[in-house]
Amino acid sequence: MSIPKDIAKKIGHFHSVSPDELEDFHEHVEWLEALLHEPCSIWEEDDGELVLIEIRQLVERVNGLKIEIYPNEHPPPHFHVKSPNINASFCIENCDKINGKISRGDYLKIKYWHQYSKGRLIEVWDSTRPVNCVVGEYRGT
């Protein structure tokens, strides 16, 4: 199910609107502007087909906290946590900190959250892998 065109414009996802929904040339120009400036990329398949992909997948946002997963990333499978006091990446497998800054107390809270949210992180990771991505679907241990 796609987001209605008017809502997609308001929330910065106009790039994801189907070109079949565009009504006039002005909307086609707005769509190109969205493709050029919103968080998306175009992937070229081996057969030459062009595919629109999201550059990042917002797993969840609550107030100033964001959990994100980016497609076409480097190993190991991981997620990013960003807030006013945190900007760090964590391994999906065991929640080890890969890089970034975070207090010990916040890190322990994220590890606790991870125990209950790992399944959802794996689902989002797997759903955002481009076809020829260096890091494929989550395999785990």
Domain co-membership, 61 together with 121: yes
In a domain, 90, yes or no: yes
Domain co-membership, 68 together with 98: yes
CA distance 133 to 52: 14
The arithmetic mean of pLDDT across residues 16-45, rounded, is 81
Q: Which two tokens stand for residue 91?
A: 């391994």
Residue 65: give the domain boundaries.
Answer: 56-127
What pLDDT is recorded for position 57?
Answer: 59
Q: How far is CA 108 from CA 16, 18, 40, 69, 113, in A?
A: 36, 42, 33, 20, 9
In a domain, 15, yes or no: yes
The arithmetic mean of pLDDT across residues 15-25, rounded, is 84
CA distance 31 to 13: 10
pLDDT above 80 (res 28): yes
Domain co-membership, 64 together with 47: no
CA distance 138 to 135: 8
Number of domains in the chain: 2
Domain co-membership, 67 together with 29: no
pLDDT above 90 (res 91): yes
What pLDDT is recorded for position 135?
Answer: 53
pLDDT band at 1 (very low <50, low <70, confident <90, very high): very low
Domain co-membership, 62 together with 48: no
The one-letter code for the residue type at 109 is K
pLDDT above 70 (res 66): yes
Of all residues in the chain, the percent with pLDDT exceeding 90 is 18
Q: What is the mean pLDDT of the chain?
A: 79
CA distance 74 to 5: 33
Q: Tell me the β-bridge partners of 51.
A: 43
Cα Rg of the chain, angstroms: 17
In a domain, 140, yes or no: no
Closest CA to 113 of 79, 73, 85: 79
pTM of the complete model beyond 0.75: no
